[in-house]
Structure 1
């Protein structure tokens, strides 16, 4: 049995209006088209759906049951069409993306909040992780895109540069170096330097920066959170290697100074497999991140 959805729609109109001619006028069909569609539907089902009473039609018991089910089906189809249309326009759907810190909290938080307010029907998932783990999850399709450093060529991902970040030194305002406009690597001699874990791109950039210095004139402590680094420095323990974000500074307690003799830079951007396979909502979010003023370099 094949059931034409157009015939079901015609059938529903005939039942609701009680007249084939009125159904034809509403649907803008020729009367003969309505009659033919009902006849084909009855032939497909092997039952009579109407009893003709002059110009009027009376619905049979089978027709009444079909009408109830047809209403549910047509409503469901209408909902499906609307949802597909909304997904195509970027107003519905799902977006799964990842971002490294502190890019996520310092640059993206306000963008994400604005995006969610404007598109409340988009299901958005934002993961926080390291560049390598984000690139891996994009490669396997678990994430639509990532905001991270340049992924390894082995991942075969597209990379669209977004901004450049420079590393600096976070200090307590009471530290003697806090009065300087910039700090040389040699100024860190004898100090305890708080750095991120080895898999963090900022740690990698830092090690490349000081890799030529032998022996290293300072001691390092690994701390897996920029927030914890903030708190330790606030307690006047050590200095931290962090990106130059004004948002990481705390008025009256912490400052971040650039390097005077080095220029440790990391490029942050979008990593994705193929833009042609990204949903409209994901593309809209990427465009929002690119265009939002607060996402621009400081």
Structure 2
């Protein structure tokens, strides 16, 4: 069945006249007549009953008109959806980011993107760097924001920022008066750190704990925001990335290390830009623009 013929048929029924349908569709009257004749021949039924100069829709024609409306509306919706996806105004985006960059740097970007692209179905997850890289490689995520993935994953990595570790403490802690913290300052303290699979924990072990001969005890906590609350309630310190948003005015401060420079590179991880939808590319560009 020719979709153009169905569109012509629908116009003829809706307008009640072949001539009016020809004018609306900008066809010659003979073209309308020919398309209806071909459609009737294809279906093997008469869609119109001729009564002198009048043309009346047959029973088969009335049924076909209802079905044609559904089909034509569906096709119109399909065309619009495909157009939206191609322009980045539709489709889906699945990505993940590690904390605290997800909340401290990406929340506003994602919110603005959703406002400007309301038809895009966006899923943002928060996870660890290794898990993000594995899921990007498996095709479960379009892209991720994490540390440099293993070379074995064969993923592209675009650096965005370098983050430094610091020491979070209460504003009334004795160390809070110092501009920076030496490893020896932590001797005898209880230190809140992330779980072993966290990239910041790995960085802590590589650059701080292994180079320090001063004894201190560690407590593993699975969330930076829980560390934030525990530091606030207890007279201990936490090892966190240096983000002003993690501090609390009058309550918590973060001080950099004095005798070492623990840094981790974070960036965008993806398999191949050629496989990404326009919406994903636009969101990636928005993320780059703020870093």
Secondary structure at the counterpart of residue 213 of structure 1? coil
For 1:241 and 1:273, locate their aligned partners in 2 and report how far apart those are by CA, in whole Å.
32
For 2:32 and 2:224, locate their aligned partners in 1 and report how far apart those are by CA, in whole Å.
70
More moved, 272-281 vs 115-124 = 115-124
| 1:31-58 Cα distance to aligned partner (Å, 9 max, x none) | 2222221111111101011123445422
Correspondence 1:30-179 to 2 at 5 A: 30-179=28-177
| 1:2-55 Cα distance to aligned partner (Å, 9 max, x none) | x11111001111112222232222211222222221111111101011123445
TM-score (norm 1): 0.93
Secondary structure at the counterpart of residue 222 of structure 2? coil
Q: Which runs of 4+ in 1 moved over 6 A?
A: none
Asked if the contact 2:181–2:258 (Cα under 8 Å) also holds between the matched residues in 1, the reply is yes
For 1:226 and 1:76, locate their aligned partners in 2 and report how far apart those are by CA, in whole Å.
48
For 1:211 and 1:52, locate their aligned partners in 2 and report how far apart those are by CA, in whole Å.
93
In structure 1, stretches of 5+ residues that fail to align are none
Q: Displacement of 1:223 after TM fit? A: 1.1
For 2:16 and 2:186, locate their aligned partners in 1 and report how far apart those are by CA, in whole Å.
89
Secondary structure at the counterpart of residue 120 of structure 1? coil
Asked if the contact 2:208–2:262 (Cα under 8 Å) also holds between the matched residues in 1, the reply is no
In structure 2, the partner of 1:231 is: 229
Q: Displacement of 1:250 after TM fit? A: 0.8
* Aligned pairs, number: 291
For 1:21 and 1:219, locate their aligned partners in 2 and report how far apart those are by CA, in whole Å.
89
For 1:177 and 1:54, locate their aligned partners in 2 and report how far apart those are by CA, in whole Å.
101
Secondary structure at the counterpart of residue 126 of structure 1? strand
Secondary structure at the counterpart of residue 248 of structure 2? coil
Asked if the contact 1:131–1:200 (Cα under 8 Å) also holds between the matched residues in 2, the reply is yes
In structure 2, the partner of 1:273 is: 271
Give me the CA root mean square deviation: 1.6
Correspondence 1:199-218 to 2 at 5 A: 199-210=197-208, 212-213=210-211, 215-218=213-216
More moved, 20-29 vs 264-273 = 20-29
For 2:254 and 2:282, locate their aligned partners in 1 and report how far apart those are by CA, in whole Å.
33
Secondary structure at the counterpart of residue 132 of structure 2? helix
Q: Displacement of 1:259 after TM fit? A: 1.1
In structure 1, the partner of 2:15 is: 17
Q: Displacement of 1:289 after TM fit? A: 1.6
Q: Displacement of 1:67 after TM fit? A: 0.8
